[in-house]
Structure 1
Amino acid sequence: MISLGGNMKEKIRYFIYFIVIISIELFCSQTLNSMSIGKENILMVFIVGVLLIATFTKGYFYGLLASIVSVLCFNFLYINPNYDFHISDPNDFMLIIFFLMTSIIACSLTDRFQKQIIISKKNESISKQLYILSERLLNVSGIEHILAKGTQYIEESVQIEVNISLEIKEESKKIIPIIGINRVLGSIEIISQQDLNEDQMIIIKAAANQLGNALERELTYLEQEKIKVAMEREHMLNSMLRSISHDLRTPLTGIVGASQLMMDQENLSREDIYSLAKDIHNQAHWLTQIVENILNMSKIESGNLILHKNLEVVDDLIYEAIHHLPELEKRNVKVEVPDDLLLVNVDGKLMVQVLINILSNALKYTKEKDQITIQVKKIKDAIEFSIKDTGIGISKNILEHIFDEFVTDANISNDSQKGIGLGLAICKAIIQAHGGEIEAKNDVQGACFVFTIPNEELNV
């Protein structure tokens, strides 16, 4: 069944093409006839006219109609007897038959070519749209951003509302799966109630493939990052366990050795007993500090570090920290604080731990009689603590990462003084929990640690 197809404007435009081309071919055929050109050559004008009509219109209807009208016009005007539809010569009858067959075949081929052109243009348009989507998704990171870009593209291209998610749903007319490499990653749900044509479905399915590639890339990257983090955490845990076992064994060995000596030697002098007891005391303090750092770090990493703030006297905090480090007796410690009583609103226990950790660090990098200066002063709305020493300073290799976990200096010659690299990381976490800042730098001679605590004295 032949369908006229198209809307009214299209039909009127094709009808005008039909009338104009038929009129031109009649004018040309009459001109050739007046020049005594044979009817076989005149027939070519009608064939050209049929091809032009088939080219400028769509479908078979106008081409077939042009073929029939051209045959009738040729028969009426140029087949004997003229101005009559009767055909007396069999040769003329065969000529008309071949003309009609040629016209029909030409119309059919022209229609096929037109359809191929339409399909090619459609494929080109889809390819361009998919290229645009692929280009949009190329540098997009983050699953939410990929889904948002895909939603925006489909809604702009197809003019329908869709919902793209990682939820896997059963495939249907309204659900298009997003497939990656051998797995379903999500789905595109068509929210619009209108029925979609074939072209719209092609675009949506092609977009689903592009989204599948982008999501597969992103998910693969995230999985690799998780594996990397897990491996780093495993490596960090192993390093921590090795460091903790070493650092716990060192003071324990000292305690066991000194106590064993006291038990085995009955004739020890009072001075020897005091010296051994002092060693046990110092080793126990060191052991307590290591355990305290480990406990604080576990609280920090689990988010359970709770501050118990009170107004504390700065002098008391400093001298309590010094009291916990007997080794400071071998250094030239200088404390500079304002003459007026200076109070700071902090968690006293944790602030003492900060001072102990920084001073312990100064002990590692200084020798006997080296100077360690503790200075406190008010600056604007904060109180600044600075601890300087005249030791070897901070190695350039670790200066930028000195407040990270498990960072230690491999250049320390005295292995017994090495720590597990948690002390300064804990200091940073505690200071930041108080709303302050901390930094480390190399001074003219030795290292300098500076941290500030907000002055909340008037608000308490």
Structure 2
Amino acid sequence: MEGDELSAPHIFSNKKKEQTEDLLTSREQEIAKWVYENKQRAGATTERFKDAQCLYLAICIEDNVYGVIAIPVDEYTLDSFEYSILLSVINECALAMENKKNIMEKEKISVLAKNEQLRADLLRAISHDLRTPLCSISGNADMLLNSGERLDDITKHQIYTDIYDDSEWLINIVENLLSITRLNDGRLKLKFTDQLLDEVIAESLRHISRKHEEYQIVTECDELILAHMDVRLILQVLINLVDNAIKYTPKGSTIRICAMNENGKAKIQVEDNGPGICDEMKPHIFEMFYTGKNTIADSHRSLGLGLALCRSIIEVHNGKLVLEDNTPHGCIFSFTLPLSEVTLNE
């Protein structure tokens, strides 16, 4: 079956190809089509199309037809016992196809339900969680427009800072939304190049939230590690991981970014000494739209996209994003990248 029509016939025979060509005539295929449409047997040994080369039987359960079987009939005719055995085999085939169809339909319904839930979660997240920064930007802009001349320079600077921070937060969310949607749809074009890890880490820190000045960010990178990556996506991973550490750790915390050559791969770790993640949250931490119970220092709620996006990006690099506990407290997010095949000479 191909859609709602019979596919091209397949012959299973111990005879040579030229000896079975008379079974593939347009006349024989028309009889097979009639059997499929009418769900009745026809052909040789029956009253309908008795001049056919084969006996044609529909593989069906009730009104669902899954195919037609053709049995060449020469001088030998099936007796009643053989015919009943044949019908039993055909019924078993039809039942197996029915079960496969039901499984595929259930999987399709499950995928549709999951996609619908994702859309509902996304709408809920956007309508609820993006409203806070948008309202803040609107309110601050209104204050500057209507009362700007009565505000002192320190207050104005704080308002400008708040508008900038809220805008940066929104831009980061939109970039994550676009990237994870394109990744899931297979529309994101990857561009792999060889990059020095210390340069990639340094570039990522130039895009980190301005709040990083209130934290101690330390980098430790082995020299001349050349990794194969889509540098735009890996920058997004590092930015998300460091921003995540900033969000969930108190001011003054230490955030450490380490890069090393381990077991023939480039390994990158982002560590913090914050409160860590409780055990009940760990199994869900990489799920899309999962935000957990942790409180973010700047009062913004996360859409729960950052870590899900990071995991998807690392997976397309044939790696895995892993969460571990730091000692004595905090988190370690680590992932691996393939090393470049190019050898660097120091």
- Taking structure 1 as the reference length, what is the TM-score of the superposition? 0.59
1:142-178 superposed Cα distances (whole Å, 9 cap, x missing partner): xxxxxxxxx99xx9xxxxx9xxx9x946531422122
Partner of 1:199: 81
- Summarize the Cα distance change of 1:208–1:323 in structure 2 as closer, same or farther, 3 Å threshold: same
- Aligned partner of 2:218 in structure 1 is 334
Question: Of residues 39, 42, 50 in structure 2, which corresponds to 1:172?
Answer: 42
Q: Tell me: CA distance 1:225–1:346, structure 2 relative to 1, closer, same or farther (3 Å).
A: closer
Distance in 1 between the 2:221 and 2:77 partners? 81
Q: CA deviation at 1:251?
A: 2.2
Q: Which amino acid aligns with 2:217?
A: V
What do the CA deviations read for 1:107-160 (whole angstroms, capped 9, x no partner)? Answer: xxxxxxxxxxxxxxxxxxxxxxxxxxxxxxxxxxxxxxxxxxxx99xx9xxxxx
Match of 1:319 in 2: 202
Instruction: Judge conservation of contact 1:251–1:283 (CA < 8 Å) in 2.
Output: yes
Contact 1:181-1:216 at 8 Å conserved across structures: no
Counterpart of 1:400 in 2: which secondary structure?
helix
The DSSP-based 3-state class of the residue aligned with 1:437 is coil
| Aligned residue number for residue 69 of structure 1 | none
The CA distance in 1 between the partners of 2:82 and 2:310, in whole Å, is 61
Q: Map 1:358-369 onto structure 2 (within 5 A).
A: 358-369=241-252
The one of 254, 257, 261 equivalent to 1:371 is 254
Contact 2:247/2:298 (<8 A) preserved? no
**Based on CA coordinates, which of the two structures has the bigger radius of gyration?**
1
Q: Within 2, Cα distance between the matches of 1:215 and 1:342?
A: 53
Alpha-carbon distance in 1 for matches of 2:146, 2:312: 45
1:410-459 CA-partner distances (Å, limit 9, x unpaired): 34366943322221122122222233332112222111101111120616
1:215 and 2:129 are equivalent in the alignment: no
**Which of 173-182 and 419-428 deviates more?**
173-182
The correspondence of residues 23-34 of structure 1 with structure 2, limited to 5 A, is none
Q: Is the 8 A contact 1:441 1:447 kept in 2?
A: yes
Tell me how far 1:334 sits from its aligned partner. Answer: 1.7
Q: 2:335 aligns to what?
A: 451
Give CA deviations for 1:67-95 in whole Å, capped at 9, x if unaligned.
xxxxxxxxxxxxxxxxxxxxxxxxxxxxx
| Unaligned segments of structure 1, at least 5 residues | 1-150, 156-160
What is the DSSP-based 3-state SS (H/G/I as helix, E as strand, rest coil) of the residue aligned with 1:417? coil
Residue 132 (structure 2) pairs with residue 262 (structure 1): no
Q: Match of 1:427, as an amino acid?
A: C
1:154-206 CA-partner distances (Å, limit 9, x unpaired) = x9xxxxx9xxx9x9465314221223244333333224644322222111112
Structure 1 position 284 matched with structure 2 position 167: yes
2:192 corresponds to:
309
The residue number in structure 2 matching 1:79 is none
Shift of residue 289 of structure 1? Answer: 0.7
- Counterpart of 2:130, as a letter, is L
1:34 is matched with none
Aligned length: 300
Q: CA deviation at 1:295?
A: 0.8
Partner of 1:381: 264
In the alignment, is the contact (CA less than 8 A) between 1:169 and 1:177 conserved in 2?
Answer: no
* Paired residue type of 2:78: L
Letter paired with 2:70 = E
Distance 1:398 1:236 in 2: 20
Paired with 1:191 and 1:334, the residues of 2 have a C-alpha distance of 79
| Candidates 440, 443, 446, aligned match of 2:323 | 440
* CA 1:287–1:456: 2 relative to 1, 3 Å: same
* Alignment deviations for residues 343-386 of structure 1 (CA, whole Å, 9 cap, x no partner): 43432221110011111221232111122111112224322110
Question: Which amino acid is 2:66 matched to?
Answer: L
**Maintained 8 Å contact 1:398/1:407:** no
1:241 aligned counterpart, secondary structure: helix
Which residue pairs with 1:231 in the alignment? Answer: 113
> Structure 1 residues 453 and 221, CA, compared in 2 at 3 Å: closer, same or farther?
closer
Higher relative contact order (CA 8 A, sep 6+): 2
2:291 to 408, 411, 419: 408
Aligned partner letter, 2:61: G
Q: Does the aligned pair in 1 maintain the 2:194–2:229 contact within 8 Å?
A: yes
1:190–1:415 CA distance, 2 compared to 1 (3 A): farther
Cα distance in 2 between the residues matched to 1:403 and 1:200: 58
Which residue identity lines up with residue 205 of structure 2 in the other structure?
I
Question: Which piece of structure 1 moves more, 408-417 or 183-192?
Answer: 408-417
SS of match in other structure, 1:383 = strand
Report deviation, 1:235.
1.4
Alignment of 1:16-165 (within 5 A): none
Shift of 1:234: 0.9
Change in Cα spacing, 1:327 to 1:413, as seen in structure 2 (3 Å) is closer
Question: Against the structure 1 CA distance between its residues 216 and 307, is the aligned structure 2 distance closer, same or farther, given a 3 Å change threshold?
Answer: closer
- How far apart, in 1, do the equivalents of 2:224 and 2:158 lie? 37
8 Å contact kept, 2:204–2:235: yes
| Structure 1 or 2: more helix by fraction | 1
Q: 1:183 to 1:344 in 2, by over 3 A?
A: closer
Q: 1:399 aligns with which of 282, 292, 303?
A: 282
Deviations 1:233-282 (A, max 9, x none): 21121011111233332222222122222222212222222221121111
User: Partners of 2:98 and 2:229 in 1: how far apart?
Assistant: 49
Shift of the 192–413 alpha-carbon distance from structure 1 to 2, 3 Å rule, reads: farther
Stretch moving more, 263-272 or 408-417: 408-417
Higher share in strand: 2
Structure 1 equivalent of residue 52 of structure 2: none
Superposed CA RMSD in Å reads: 3.1
Q: Hey, what does 2:69 align to over in structure 1?
A: 188
Identity of aligned residues (%): 31
**How far apart, in 2, do the equivalents of 1:415 and 1:192 lie?**
81
Instruction: State how far apart, in whole Å, the 1-side matches of 2:176 and 2:93 are.
Output: 48
